[in-house]
């Protein structure tokens, strides 16, 4: 009995001793700055001889991308016409390659980029596409200080911390960093392409609340590790809207980069029709076309181009296209969005209405 009491007493004191030692050790870690910094994963900054701990600093992540980001400037007769951002995504033996937005480059081929060290150099446009809103530039490798690390947006989750590096409003604010969260994925945003005044194209993009402004276009969207997950492209501008920016997923961009690097055009499939949205009464009147009141979604054919797949199908002027392969077509933007999922020489099924009757036809894309 006495031996049992002694054993229990020993175990009690051993547990008590371990608890006290552990408490002292944790207290030591919290009080002593270097260990406190490691334990809390804070960034230690020295300001006016004082140590300031900044929680969750992006400093190390920014260092992984900062020198890979450039200001993209488009010149016309020696004057800057347009400005945006780009980033170096790879190098080979001779050159560094830069991704940016197509809408940063309007019509001029005189392009210069400003590096993080303020050196301005001439860049060559290799390829661009207005529907992708992507362009690839090339500079000599000797000017490259850093190459961005690419990841994928598919690994990112809503609510993850993201940040951007860019040149809002141009050169004077180059290297600006903004941060926020990934607000949404797979957002479908309608935009106008080229000289069109209509919302005739849909982009599938990432939504962010990090501040982006004119000049940020083409810059990288990054995760907390400093890896590129998107390309900043557009934002919603309205007095009642704040903090709604959008970025092209990097994996989508990279799936088309090879063609742009080679200067080849992206061959988007052609249906072979000219069309009007069913709710565009002014254009319908111009072409002497009418749409039954019960039809509120779809597009109306006002011309069929000779030699195309549409011309060889049963489609006619005045038909209202309702579906592509059973996917509802609300307007021109959604028709193009669905159409451009296919390739040249694919055959698709079109559902349309003519004289109040629903019909179907097969069309070979050219």
Catalytically annotated residue among 156, 176, 183, 217: 217
Nearest to 307, CA basis, from 263, 273, 350, 353: 273
177 CB neighbour count, 10 Å cutoff: 17
Q: Is 133 a catalytic residue?
A: yes
More confident residue, 25 or 306: 306
Active-site residue identified among 61, 83, 133, 313: 133
Say yes or no to pLDDT of 197 above 90: no
Rounded Cα distance between 149 and 100, Å, is 16
pLDDT at 196: 73
* Active-site residue flag, 217: yes
3-state secondary structure 203-227: EEEEEECCCCCCCCCCCEEEECCCE
Closest CA to 166 of 222, 110, 111: 222
Task: Report how far residue 95's alpha carbon sits from residue 76's, in angstroms, rounded to the nearest whole number.
Answer: 25
Sign of the Cα torsion 305, 306, 312, 314 reads: positive
Which range among 11-15, 239-243, 271-275 shows the weakest confidence by mean pLDDT?
11-15
Is residue 280 scored above 50 in pLDDT?
Answer: yes
- The pLDDT score that the predictor gives to residue 191 is 87
Short-list 129, 99, 147, CA closest to 251: 99
Among the listed residues 250, 213, 243, 247, the one whose alpha carbon sits nearest the alpha carbon of residue 233: 247
Measured over the CA atoms of residue 55, residue 60, residue 63 and residue 65, the dihedral's sign is negative
Q: List the catalytic residue out of 61, 83, 103, 156.
A: 103
What are the tens digits of pLDDT across the range 318-334? 999 999 999 999 999 99
Examine the pLDDT at 228 and tell me if it is beyond 50: yes
Q: What is the pLDDT of residue 12?
A: 58
Structure tokens at 306: 């000779």
Residues 6+ apart with CB under 8 A from 183: 158, 207, 208, 209, 243, 244
Give this prediction's pTM.
0.80
Domains within the chain, CATH numbers bracketed:
2-57 (no CATH), 58-266 (2.40.10.120), 273-364 (2.30.42.10)
């Amino acid at each position: 009995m006495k031996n049992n009491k002694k054993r229990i007493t020993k175990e009690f004191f051993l547990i008590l001793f371990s608890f006290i030692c552990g408490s002292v050790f944790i207290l030591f870690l919290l009080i002593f700055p270097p260990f406190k910094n490691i334990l809390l994963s804070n960034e230690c900054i020295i300001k006016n001889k004082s140590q300031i701990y900044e929680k969750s600093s992006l400093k190390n992540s920014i260092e992984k991308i900062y020198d890979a980001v450039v200001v993209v400037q488009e010149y016309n007769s020696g004057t800057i016409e347009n400005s945006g951002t780009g980033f170096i995504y790879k190098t080979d033996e001779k050159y560094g390659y830069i991704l940016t937005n197509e809408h940063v480059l309007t019509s001029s081929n005189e392009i210069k980029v400003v590096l993080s060290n303020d050196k301005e150099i001439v860049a060559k446009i290799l390829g661009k596409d207005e529907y992708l809103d992507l362009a690839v530039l090339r500079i000599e490798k000797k000017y490259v200080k850093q190459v961005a690390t690419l990841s994928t947006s598919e690994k990112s989750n809503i609510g993850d911390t993201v940040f951007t590096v860019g040149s809002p409003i141009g050169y004077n604010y180059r290297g600006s960093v903004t941060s926020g969260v990934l607000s949404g994925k797979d957002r479908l945003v309608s935009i106008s392409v080229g000289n069109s005044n209509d919302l005739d194209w849909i982009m599938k993009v990432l939504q962010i609340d990090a501040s982006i402004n004119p000049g940020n276009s083409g810059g990288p969207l990054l995760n907390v590790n400093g890896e590129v997950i998107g390309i900043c492209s557009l934002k919603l501008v309205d007095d009642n809207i704040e903090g709604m920016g959008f970025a092209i997923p990097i994996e989508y961009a990279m799936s088309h980069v090879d063609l742009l690097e080679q200067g080849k055009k992206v061959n988007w499939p052609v249906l072979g029709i000219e069309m009007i949205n069913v709710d565009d009464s002014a254009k319908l009147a111009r072409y002497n076309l009418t749409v039954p009141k019960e039809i509120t979604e779809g597009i109306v054919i006002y011309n069929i181009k000779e030699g195309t797949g549409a011309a060889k199908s049963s489609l006619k002027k005045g038909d209202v296209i309702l579906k592509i392969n059973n996917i509802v077509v609300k307007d021109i933007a959604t028709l193009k969005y669905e159409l451009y999922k296919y390739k040249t020489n694919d055959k698709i099924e079109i559902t349309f209405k003519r004289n109040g009757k629903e019909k179907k036809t097969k069309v070979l894309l050219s």
